[in-house]
């Protein structure tokens, strides 16, 4: 079991949409970058939504800047946990991030997208009141483990919420 710790949020005062993952996978933790695994479809998905098809090829700081330019913030529901490997199903002893504090500090956030089942169930467990206060959406995971969703379907589903 490895001790895993989430990153700081990527957010600014213009952010209107908060995308919450669960906990970065092994590759992301090694690289200290959200969605660093080459087979994760997050950056391809966001590239389409932000009208930046080459987004996956950009350096990490530029990727984050493009999300912020599109009023999209990025963080995780889990602050720390124990996990062997990268699968959300292996997460144990989770501690949530202080999402209430973040939302209070950034009042322009109106929409919360929960990237996958674990992000959603963790959010629901620790922040059930926020499900009513914000426009919250359980989104299909961009993880390569979510093979039942093609990239085209992911883009279509995410665009319904994020590209409004």
Can you give the residue ranges of every domain in the chain? 2-162
Report how far residue 119's alpha carbon sits from residue 130's, in angstroms, rounded to the nearest whole number. 14
pLDDT value for 137: 95
Sign of torsion over alpha carbons 150, 151, 154, 159: negative
Query: Is 82 or 61 the better-scoring residue by pLDDT?
Result: 61
pLDDT band at 163 (very low <50, low <70, confident <90, very high): low
Question: What pLDDT does 164 receive?
Answer: 58
- For residue 140, what is the DSSP state? -
Instruction: Compute the radius of gyration of the chain from its Cα atoms.
Output: 15
**pLDDT tens, position by position, 82-130:** 888 776 666 788 999 999 999 999 999 999 999 989 999 999 999 999 9
Q: Which pLDDT tens digit goes with each residue over 27-41?
A: 888 889 999 988 889
Class of domain 2-162: alpha beta
Catalytic residue among 2, 3, 40, 51: 40
Nearest CA-CA partner of 17 in 114, 85, 88 = 114
Q: Confirm whether 2 is a catalytic residue.
A: no
Residue 3 pairs in a beta bridge with: 82
69-79 pLDDT tens trace = 999 999 999 99
């Amino acid at each position: 079991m490895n001790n895993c710790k989430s990153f700081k949020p990527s957010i600014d005062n213009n952010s209107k949409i908060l995308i919450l993952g669960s906990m970065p996978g092994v590759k992301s933790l090694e690289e200290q970058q959200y969605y660093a695994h080459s087979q994760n479809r997050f950056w391809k998905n966001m590239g389409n939504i932000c009208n930046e098809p080459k987004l996956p090829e950009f350096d990490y700081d530029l990727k984050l800047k493009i999300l912020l330019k599109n009023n999209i913030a990025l963080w995780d529901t889990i602050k720390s946990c124990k996990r062997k490997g990268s699968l959300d199903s292996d997460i144990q002893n989770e501690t949530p991030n202080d999402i209430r504090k973040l939302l209070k500090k950034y009042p322009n956030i109106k929409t919360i997208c929960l990237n996958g089942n674990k992000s959603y169930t963790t959010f629901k467990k620790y922040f059930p009141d926020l499900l009513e206060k914000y426009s919250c959406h359980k989104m299909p995971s961009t993880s390569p483990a979510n093979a039942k969703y093609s990239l085209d379907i992911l883009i279509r589903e995410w665009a319904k919420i994020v590209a409004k």
